[in-house]
Structure 1
Amino acid sequence: MERILRLLNGSEDIGRGLPYWAIFAAVLALFIAVPLYLSEFAAYNVSFYLLNIPMALGLCILWGYCGTLSFGQVAYFGVAGYAYGIIAGNLINHPLGTLIGSIGGIIAAMVLAGIFGYFVFFARVQTWIVPILTLVLTLLLETFLGQTAGYQWRVGTVQLGGYNGMTGIPSFQLGSYVFSGYAFFYFVLAIVTVSYLLCRALVNSSFGKVLLAIREDALRTETLGYDIRVRQWIAFVLAAALAGLSGLLYVQWGNYITPSQVGLLAAALPVIWVAVGGREKLLAAVIGTYALNWINYKLSSSGNQYALVITGTLLVAVMLFFPRGLVVSLFDLVARIPAKRRAHGE
Structure 2
Amino acid sequence: MKEPIPNTGTRMWRILNGPQELGRGPAFWTCFAAATVIALAYPSFGSAFGLSNIANFCLYVPMALGLSLLWGYSGVLSFGQSAFFVIAGYVYGLVAGNLIDIPGGTLVGVGAGISASALVAVIFGYFVFYGQVSGWIIPLLLLVLSLILETFLGQTAGYQWRVGSVLLGGYNGMTGIPSIQIGSITFVSASIALYYLVMVLTLMIYLGLRILVNSRYGHVVIAIRDDSERTRSLGYNVAIIQIQVFVLAAALAGLSGVLYVSWGNYINPASAGMLMATLPVIWAAVGGRKSLVAVLVSTLILRWLADTLAVRGGEYAFLIMGVLLLLTMVFFPEGIIVSLARGYRRWRPKAHDVIRAPQ
The TM-score normalised by the length of structure 1 is 0.97
Q: Percent identity?
A: 53
- TM-superposed CA distance for 1:280, in Å, is 0.6
Counterpart amino acid of residue 333 in structure 1: G
- Are 1:145 and 2:143 matched, yes or no? no
- Are 1:51 and 2:81 matched, yes or no? no
Instruction: Report Cα offsets for 1:217-252 as digits up to 9, x if no partner.
Output: 111111121111111111100000000010011101
Q: Which runs of 4+ in 1 moved over 6 A?
A: 342-345
- TM-superposed CA distance for 1:18, in Å, is 2.3
- Are 1:156 and 2:164 matched, yes or no? yes
> Any residues of structure 2 matched to 1:1-346 within 5 Å, and which?
1-2=8-9, 3-180=11-188, 181-303=191-313, 305-341=315-351, 346=357
In 1: Cα distance, 2:82 partner to 2:177 partner: 18
Go from structure 1 to structure 2 and tell me whether the alpha carbon gap of 1:155 and 1:274 turns closer, same or farther (over 3 Å shift). same
- TM-superposed CA distance for 1:341, in Å, is 4.2
Go from structure 1 to structure 2 and tell me whether the alpha carbon gap of 1:163 and 1:63 turns closer, same or farther (over 3 Å shift). same
In 2: Cα distance, 1:32 partner to 1:207 partner: 32
- TM-superposed CA distance for 1:35, in Å, is 2.1
Counterpart amino acid of residue 139 in structure 1: L
Structure 2 unaligned residues grouped into runs of 5+: 1-7
Q: Secondary structure at the match of 1:306?
A: helix
- State which structure, 1 or 2, has the greater radius of gyration over its C-alpha atoms: 2
- TM-superposed CA distance for 1:146, in Å, is 0.6
Go from structure 1 to structure 2 and tell me whether the alpha carbon gap of 1:45 and 1:342 turns closer, same or farther (over 3 Å shift). closer
**Bigger shift: residues 27-36 or 288-297:** 27-36
Counterpart amino acid of residue 213 in structure 1: A
- TM-superposed CA distance for 1:14, in Å, is 1.4
Go from structure 1 to structure 2 and tell me whether the alpha carbon gap of 1:315 and 1:234 turns closer, same or farther (over 3 Å shift). same
* Contact map agreement 1:135 1:267 (CA 8 A) in 2: yes
Instruction: Report Cα offsets for 1:184-230 as digits up to 9, x if no partner.
Output: 11111011111101110110011110111111111111112111111
Q: Secondary structure at the match of 1:276?
A: helix
In 2: Cα distance, 1:329 partner to 1:310 partner: 20
In 2: Cα distance, 1:302 partner to 1:23 partner: 33
In 2: Cα distance, 1:6 partner to 1:226 partner: 25
**Bigger shift: residues 150-159 or 300-309:** 300-309
In 1: Cα distance, 2:94 partner to 2:14 partner: 41
**Bigger shift: residues 43-52 or 27-36:** 27-36
In 1: Cα distance, 2:352 partner to 2:266 partner: 56
Structure 1 unaligned residues grouped into runs of 5+: none
**Bigger shift: residues 329-338 or 82-91:** 329-338
**Bigger shift: residues 35-44 or 321-330:** 35-44
* Contact map agreement 1:76 1:241 (CA 8 A) in 2: yes
In 1: Cα distance, 2:272 partner to 2:312 partner: 25
* Contact map agreement 2:96 2:108 (CA 8 A) in 1: yes
- TM-superposed CA distance for 1:304, in Å, is 5.2
In 1: Cα distance, 2:20 partner to 2:353 partner: 26
* Contact map agreement 2:74 2:225 (CA 8 A) in 1: yes
Counterpart amino acid of residue 155 in structure 2: Q
**Bigger shift: residues 272-281 or 214-223:** 214-223
In 1: Cα distance, 2:105 partner to 2:256 partner: 19
**Bigger shift: residues 2-11 or 328-337:** 2-11
- TM-superposed CA distance for 1:277, in Å, is 0.4
In 2: Cα distance, 1:28 partner to 1:289 partner: 16
- TM-superposed CA distance for 1:182, in Å, is 1.7
In 2: Cα distance, 1:205 partner to 1:86 partner: 38
